[in-house]
A and B are shown apart, each in its own frame.
Chain A
Amino acid sequence: MGWRWFHQWGSPRWFYERAGRWQLVCGWLALTLLITGSFWGLALAPVDYQQGNSYRIIYLHVPVAFLAQALYAAMAVCAVVLFVWKMKLADVAMQSIAVMGFAFTALSLISGAVWGKPTWGTYWVWDARLTSMLILAFLYLGVIGLRAAIQDPDQAGKACGILVLVGVVNLPIIKYSVEWWNTLHQPASLKLTEKPAMPASMWVPLLTNILGYYIAAAYLILGSMRAIVLERERRSAWVRELVSRA
């Protein structure tokens, strides 16, 4: 199994054909989970006695924030695969993930800010989590910008790989330093981190949505990867055949 599996992942054609099917599965699964989870969270989960209904934003904010961070790690894994095994598909994945990662980071920032309005009375607080999320957004932007600036796709991929690896080493340091900075400058009264244990009626829909967003991200990344693979492999025989058949 081992090596064959590896070769398959190295083949853009194999990926393109399979990814179409996986994408379909992921898409419908994500849609079902997200509709269920969001409706449950919005309508069926009990009201938070402290925050009122505004807490219902977590059913979007928390999964998206998780994803934003996980995707950077995923990008780093892709960078390692690209450098160690020179697998072109890893570079394609890196390119798609950077865009999706930025979108999710932006979404989590905006939802966090809007949640902050009723909770803290202001849209933006230099809270540790918001701040490190903001930096993460800049890191994603850097990767996207670097790729856009370099013409040759192979070269752009490697440059982004270097940047992502340097970034992923720094990310925990950034996170911890921002947390420390926050305690240095602000009294702990504004913190939202300490939460009482959630009842199952609250966390089950949250879990559903987390799963839903992860699968939705997989769906989006697969879709974007397919398009990029097609574009990059435009010269190869299988793409020509595929397109002329269509």
Chain B
Amino acid sequence: MSLERRMLTRELKLIAARPGDIFKPMWFLMLVISMVPLALAPDSDLLSEIGSAMIWVATLLALLLNTEHLFQSDFSDGVLEQWLFLDRPLAWLVGLKLIAHWLFHVLPLILITPIAGIMLSVPTDVLLALLVTLVIATPALTCFSGLGAALTLGSSRSGILGVLVMMPLFVPVVILAAGVLIRAMDGSDTLPLLALLGAFSVVAATLVPIAVSAAIRLNIGGSN
């Protein structure tokens, strides 16, 4: 079995062992979405106007929540340091881990956003755009929050520092995605913006794993 397949199988088996890891962020997402009308008003016009933005932000937070400890347990078990002895570059392995994380943890989160959309009476075509932007944008977000997780690995009292450190870097993605949603609401062409968003995601997914691997190496070097 190739190392790549071993990696993905391991990831799947871990999910089977800890299903809560997938469900907690979903649960969080639905809770946040239920809070919106309570904090605002049950007025469906108002909700449908801000609904897609709310869902975007809530998904972003849920994603951060489940990426924050991406490497933590492997790091403290000492499994992460074994990655250095596998005959693949660390950045490649990190990339695989991020892909697996996106596939098995982030994608399910995106797939339940339509339910949130119905709850906030978001129109169907906007909902579709929302879904597409999330699928295209989350790889970049996953990579960045993975970097935050890797940078704060070694410090025991970091708390949500990884999230705080990485959140400003989400700005371009959020802006572009919001642009797509606004255009979808107007009914104008969203394709150029989606292409731009996709390009950002692709570049982030190729370059950020290198930074993540540097951060992991650094933290392994500092621990005993």
Binding site for B on A (CB under 8 A): 135, 138-139, 141-143, 145-146, 149-152, 155, 158-159, 162-163, 165-167, 169-170, 173-174, 176-178, 180-181, 184
Contacts and interface: CB of A to CB of B under 8 A. Distances in A.
A170 B173 CA distance: 11
Contacts of A138: 164, 167-168
B205 to A, nearest CB: 14
B36 interface: no
B109 interface: no
Nearest to A173: B172
Contacts of A178: 171, 175
B215 A135 contact: no
21 contacts: A138-B164, A138-B168, A139-B168, A142-B165, A142-B166, A145-B164, A150-B222, A162-B151, A162-B215, A163-B151, A163-B165, A166-B169, A170-B169, A174-B168, A174-B169, A174-B172, A177-B175, A180-B175, A180-B179, A181-B178, A181-B179
Contacts of B179: 180-181, 184
A151 B176 CA distance: 37
Contacts, number: 78
6 pairs of A and B residues whose beta carbons are closest in the complex: A142-B165, A177-B172, A138-B168, A149-B155, A155-B222, A181-B175
B169 A149 contact: no
B211 interface: yes
Nearest to A181: B175
A174 B158 contact: no
Contacts of A162: 147, 151, 211, 214-215, 218
B221 interface: yes
Given A139-B168, A155-B221, A184 B154 contact: no
**Secondary structure class of chain A's binding surface, majority of residues:** helix
B133 interface: no
Contact of B151 (A159, A170, A181): A159
B164 A142 contact: yes
A141 B147 CA distance: 17
A139 B169 CA distance: 8
Interface residues of B, number: 31
B100 interface: no
Interface string B122-159: 00000000000000000000000001000110110110
Nearest to A145: B161
A174 B200 CA distance: 12
B165 A158 contact: no
B33 interface: no
Contacts of A174: 168-169, 171-172
B89 to A, nearest CB: 17
Given A135-B171, A145-B161, A181-B178, A166 B154 contact: no
Nearest to B158: A149
A149 B222 CA distance: 14
Interface string B66-84: 0000000000000000000
Contacts of B155: 149-151
Contacts of B207: 169
Interface in B196-211: 200, 207-208, 211
Contact of A146 (B151, B167, B221, B222): B151
Contact of B215 (A142, A143, A159): A159
Contacts of B218: 155, 158-159, 162
B221 A145 contact: no
B143 to A, nearest CB: 10
B192 to A, nearest CB: 12
Nearest to B162: A146
B182 interface: yes
